Each structure stands twice: as C-alpha cells, then as structure tokens.
C-alpha cells in the first residue's frame, strides 16, 4: 500500500514541470505605464500614457447620451446571441456614420504597408495574422509634421495592388493628418497604382468635433471609385473603452462578391469570439438611431474636443513663455495625442524627476492635461529641455576649446529646434537629406527636390526592424 502511494506521488510529481520553461512576457508599453503610475505615491504625478479621456479634474467621464441610452435599454429582454456578423442595426448606423453602402470586401496582395510612426498594436495584429509588413514614410521629426513628399514617393514605389493602412483622422501617435488636397493626391496615386486603402477610424469626431469633416478622407476615396476597408471604433468618441464596440466594413464591386466575403469574415470570427457582445452594440445603435441622443452625443463630443484644444494652447503658451524653444507643433497637431519631440532619455528624466508618465516615443495623451497640472507639466518639460540644451552647448564649447579657439555665437550647438523659421523648418542650419532641399511645402515640411548629393538606395524598413529599434 505504501509502495503504491509512493508510485502515485512520484507519477504526480512529474507534472509539476509544465511551466518551468515559460518565461515572463514583455509588459505592454502603454498599460505598463499605468501600472507604474498607480504605484507612484507622489501627489504631483501625471499619467499621459493611456489614450482615455479625462475631465478637467482628471476624472473618467461617462457621457450623458450613454447614460440615457443605458436607461432606454435597461428593460431589454433581448440577451440572446447576436449573429456572427453582429447587430444589423449597429452595422447600418455605422455605415451611415462613415458615409457609405453595405458591408463588402476586396482582396489584394497579402502585404500591409503601415505608417513609419505607428500605433504598436497595428503591427501586432498583422504579425499575429501572419501578414508580412512594410512601412511607409509619414512623420517628419524635424518639422514635426507630415513628410508628404516621402510618403508620396513610397506610395509610387510600392508594388502595384499593395494594401496600405491609413488613419482616417487624428493619426495615432503623431496627431498629424494630411490636408484635404493631400488626401486627394494620395487617392489619385492609389488609383494609378491600384492600391487598396484600409482605414483605421478610431477617432471620428474626436479630431475636429465634426463627424463629417473627420470622415473626409474616406469620402474622397469613395468619390474616386476606390474599393476600401474601414475598421471603426466607438471607444474614444463615445467613451466606451470597456465595451470594445466597433464595426468592420469592406467595399466590393458587386453583391455576389460581398456575400462571399461576408461569409469568409464570419468564418474567421467563429473560432475567435463567435458572437460579439450585445450590450455595447445596443448602446451605440440606440444613440446613433435616436436623433435626440445622437445630437446630444455630437454636442458632448465637441465639448471633449474643445477642452483638449484649450489644453494644447495652454501647454504651448506655458512652454513658450518660459523661453523654451518653439512649440508650434502642439497646436498644429490634432486629436487626443501630441507627438512632443521628447527623446526617450528625456521621457525617462520626466518620469524619474517629475513623476510624469508617457510612452518613451514622447507621445503625450492630451486628455491627461488639465488646468490644474498644465503649469507643472510645462515647467517640468522646460527643465528637461533646458538641461539638454545646456549640456549640448557646453559640449560645443569644450570641443572648440580643445581645438584651440573660442566658440562664436554662431557656433552654439543647442537643440536642432532652437532656431526655427516661422514655417517650422530650421533656418540656415537645416540639414538636408540626400535628394532633398529645405523648401517649405504645405504642413510645414520640406519639399523633395533633387540636389547634387548622391541619393542613397532606399531600404524598406520591416515592422520587425522598426519595432526592435
């Protein structure tokens, strides 16, 4: 009996090693910031990491239109499974909001081109789906605006029938969008190359406060006759972060193709989540289909946008009154985020010395800025920038002294953004990339013109290369 017990215990013990080779996964770069913020006891701490709206007291907001919609559906007896394709009412209302017909689709080359400045989850989604990725130029770090000439070069040089992931409005993380004319040029070149545009529309109404204006890019592509895809979300513009409500819409050339593609989408959804949750779908469809609730939603959304716009202005003014370089890009950018231009080292210094938390690429969630912390935030950024500028200037002096001469005023090194023209491009110190000059074009970035410098061979940066850098 004892021997049998020993053998059983021995056999059971062999199962204890199931997880020995499982190591910890890397923490999420955004939610890891929130964890660190919550563990910080400082009364001055500020969380500028997660893109979730806060009021001027720093508190989460439940919109009144959502409360009213919740009251309307509180007695609902429908708690059955939704169809695999989701709520038909929600789908119809989403289509109206994004200004087009029915759910349809398009098939193209199985490679996705994403902006070089990206929301990291996009790359994770395509990677886990087994879709090869490339990046196209988007953000110009010198002028902190759109690098439109480089973007157009990439669109023209990409293989015909490529799939491009585009942000319909309020680009995350940069807050930089093409102008209407630039969208028209992009659409035209997509038509020439027969590319497929797939739009991520997570911020409709949150960029300008106007639903129609924020759907402008999609309308332009539709008017030009493109087949397009759109991933639509109501997390931001309705404050339904925990409900995860959205709609995938794709456009095909005819009804038969639409039926076939819809069946394929349903087959993909079946083993993933099978049927979408009903409650969030009921909330959104109730708001969108009720004229009074929709009008209230638009009004409340405009209020959120206006508060963020005021905070952009306040942050810029507080920085510039301290003599802290040129911060025009804060008010030029739109949406929830500001791509500040802070380096990872400066972000670390802000966290370490001032208890200010943001992603290491310098992205600031403007929703976390309010009238109570904007002065402290501006002063902290100014101190970090000043220490960097002073260190750079001192390094420049030492280099000249080592060379046996005194530095002149024109030799001061400072930050590259310290002497900037009104257009946002550095003056006579602007360094030109091969094949470019400093001529200013729309959105404050440089036009691409040929120079005598030899143009380097272009290398497409893969998502793996970019994420590992």
Which of 119, 183, 297, 327 is catalytic? The answer is 119
Which of 154, 177, 200, 214 is catalytic? The answer is 200
What six digits make up the tokens of 364? 């600031």
3-state secondary structure of 203: coil
First to last CA, the chain: 61
Identify whether the C-beta of residue 133 lies closer than 8 Å to the C-beta of residue 127: yes
Identify whether the C-beta of residue 134 lies closer than 8 Å to the C-beta of residue 184: no
The whole-angstrom separation of Cα 196 and Cα 187 is: 10
- H helices within 360-458, ranges in order? 374-402
Identify whether the C-beta of residue 215 lies closer than 8 Å to the C-beta of residue 167: no
Return all residues near 425 (Cβ < 8 A) that are at least 6 apart. Answer: 142, 143, 438, 440, 444, 445, 446
Identify whether the C-beta of residue 386 lies closer than 8 Å to the C-beta of residue 324: yes
The whole-angstrom separation of Cα 2 and Cα 8 is: 10
- H helices within 359-454, ranges in order? 374-402
Q: Is 96 a catalytic residue?
A: no
What is the residue-wise DSSP string for 44-77? T-EE-SS---B-TTS-B---HHHHHHHHHHTT--
Q: Strand 246-250 relative to strand 337-339: parallel, antiparallel, unpaired?
A: unpaired
Per DSSP, what are the bridge partners of residue 232? 201, 247
Q: Is 200 a catalytic residue?
A: yes
Per DSSP, what are the bridge partners of residue 196? 163
The whole-angstrom separation of Cα 341 and Cα 329 is: 9
Which of 236, 297, 361, 426 is catalytic? The answer is 236
Q: Which H or E element spans position 113?
A: strand 112-115
Q: Which of these, 335, 342, 334, 384, lies nearest to 359 by C-alpha position? A: 342
Task: Return the number of other C-beta atoms located less than 10 Å from residue 459's C-beta.
Answer: 7
* Phi and psi angles of residue 121, each rounded to the nearest 5 degrees, phi first: -65, -30
Q: Is 306 a catalytic residue?
A: no
3-state secondary structure of 316: helix
3-state secondary structure of 180: helix
Identify whether the C-beta of residue 247 lies closer than 8 Å to the C-beta of residue 91: yes
Q: Which of these, 45, 25, 26, lies nearest to 36 by C-alpha position? A: 45
* Phi and psi angles of residue 277, each rounded to the nearest 5 degrees, phi first: -60, 150
Q: Which of these, 192, 117, 131, lies nearest to 163 by C-alpha position? A: 131
As annotated, the active-site residues are: 119, 200, 236
């Amino acid at each position: 009996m004892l021997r049998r017990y020993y053998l059983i215990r021995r056999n059971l013990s062999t199962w204890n090693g199931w997880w020995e080779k499982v190591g910890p996964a890397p923490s999420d770069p955004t939610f890891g910031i929130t964890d660190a913020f919550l563990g910080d006891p400082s009364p001055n701490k500020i969380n500028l990491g997660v893109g979730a709206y806060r009021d001027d007291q720093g508190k989460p907001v439940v919109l009144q239109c959502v409360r009213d919609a919740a009251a309307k559906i509180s007695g609902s007896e429908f708690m059955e499974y939704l169809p695999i394709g989701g709520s038909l009412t929600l789908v119809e209302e989403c289509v109206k909001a994004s200004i087009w017909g029915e759910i349809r689709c398009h098939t193209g080359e199985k490679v996705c081109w994403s902006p070089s400045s990206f929301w990291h989850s996009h790359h994770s989604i395509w990677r886990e789906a087994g879709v090869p990725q490339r990046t196209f130029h988007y953000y110009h770090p010198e002028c902190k605006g759109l690098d439109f000439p480089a973007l157009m070069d990439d669109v023209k040089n990409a293989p015909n029938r490529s799939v491009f992931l585009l942000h319909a409005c309020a680009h995350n993380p940069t807050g930089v969008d093409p102008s209407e004319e630039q969208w028209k040029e992009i659409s035209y070149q997509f038509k020439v190359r027969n590319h497929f545009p797939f739009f991520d529309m997570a911020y409709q109404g949150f960029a300008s406060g106007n639903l129609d204006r924020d759907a402008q890019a999609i309308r332009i592509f539709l008017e030009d006759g493109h087949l397009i895809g759109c991933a639509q979300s109501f997390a931001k513009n309705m404050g339904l972060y925990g409900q995860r409500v959205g709609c995938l819409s794709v456009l095909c050339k005819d009804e038969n193709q639409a039926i076939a593609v819809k069946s394929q989408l349903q087959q993909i959804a079946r083993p993933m989540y099978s049927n979408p949750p009903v409650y969030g779908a009921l909330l959104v469809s109730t708001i969108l289909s009720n004229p009074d609730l929709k009008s209230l939603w638009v009004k409340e959304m405009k209020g959120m946008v206006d508060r963020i716009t005021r905070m952009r202005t306040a942050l810029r003014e507080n920085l510039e009154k301290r003599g802290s370089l040129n911060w025009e890009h804060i008010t030029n950018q739109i949406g929830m985020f500001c791509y500040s231009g802070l380096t990872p080292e400066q972000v670390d210094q802000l966290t370490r010395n001032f208890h200010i938390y943001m992603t290491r690429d310098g992205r600031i969630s403007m929703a976390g800025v309010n009238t109570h912390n904007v002065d402290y935030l501006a002063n902290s950024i100014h101190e970090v920038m000043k220490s960097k500028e002073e260190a750079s200037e001192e390094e420049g002096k030492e280099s000249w002294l080592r060379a046996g001469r005194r530095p002149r005023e024109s030799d001061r090194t400072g930050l590259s953004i310290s002497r900037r023209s009104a257009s946002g491009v550095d003056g006579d110190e602007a360094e030109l990339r091969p094949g470019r000059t400093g001529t200013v074009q729309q959105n404050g970035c440089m036009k691409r013109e040929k120079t005598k410098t030899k143009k380097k061979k272009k290398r497409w940066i893969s998502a793996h290369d970019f994420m590992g850098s």
